[in-house]
Chain A
């Protein structure tokens, strides 16, 4: 089965710190996504990537950047963490979107607290 691994389950950082959230998938998927999940707001798309070194902004990219140097790894970067970035961050991946591969496989999430 597909495995999407997020490097940390819980993370506590201070305001202004640079934060790296790492995600690795083991199924050679082209597409990778970062969402944040907040109560009452559902999942909001931050960034996604459909190929190595490619990235696209989602609905809430402000304050975030991403890096995809290798196909299996998609990193989310908080350049200067702020308290309103306290959230659950979910990484997901999928195969090419051609008739049936649109299912997303999710990691277990990283609960980030910014103090």
Chain B
């Protein structure tokens, strides 16, 4: 079965530190890849997405992610985090075998210390 793995469950950083959150998926076909964010007390919202083309995609609030097909990875990065980036981050994949399924990873809780 298709799955999405997020290796870091909890990450604590100081402001201005660089961030990289790992995401790997297990699916050999065409995929669409996403990162969603859930700020405390708020709805899940889309951070960025990859469909095709340039494997480096840029999202809102200075986030970017790189799709590396050979590694089945879609890691999220930000050069310098802020206290307001404290949130839970979810990687997600749409798979296209049979019916479409929108599958999420287990999430990474990021805490940024002021």
Contact = CB atoms under 8 A, between A and B. Distances in A.
Interface of A: 33, 35, 40-45, 48, 50, 56, 58-59, 90, 92, 94, 97, 99-100, 102-104, 106-109
Contacts of A104: 36, 44, 46, 92, 102
Given A42-B90, A99-B51, A108 B106 contact: no
Contacts of B99: 50, 56
Contacts of A58: 101
Contacts of A108: 43
Contacts of A48: 101-102
Interface of B: 1, 6, 9, 32, 34, 36, 43-46, 49, 51, 90, 92, 94, 99-107
Contacts of A56: 99
Nearest to A42: B106
Given A42-B6, A45-B101, A104-B44, 11 more contacts: A35-B104, A43-B104, A50-B99, A50-B100, A59-B101, A99-B51, A102-B49, A102-B51, A103-B49, A106-B44, A109-B43
B99 to A, nearest CB: 5
A47 to B, nearest CB: 11
Given A45-B101, A56-B99, A106 B45 contact: yes
Contact of B106 (A41, A103, A106, A107): A41
A67 B44 CA distance: 24
Contacts of B49: 102-103
B46 A103 contact: yes
A43 B90 contact: yes
A88 to B, nearest CB: 11
A40 B90 CA distance: 11
User: B6, B43, B44, B94: which has the most chain A beta carbons within 10 Å?
Assistant: B44
A45 B103 contact: yes
B14 to A, nearest CB: 25
A45 B104 CA distance: 8
Contact of A42 (B43, B51, B104): B104
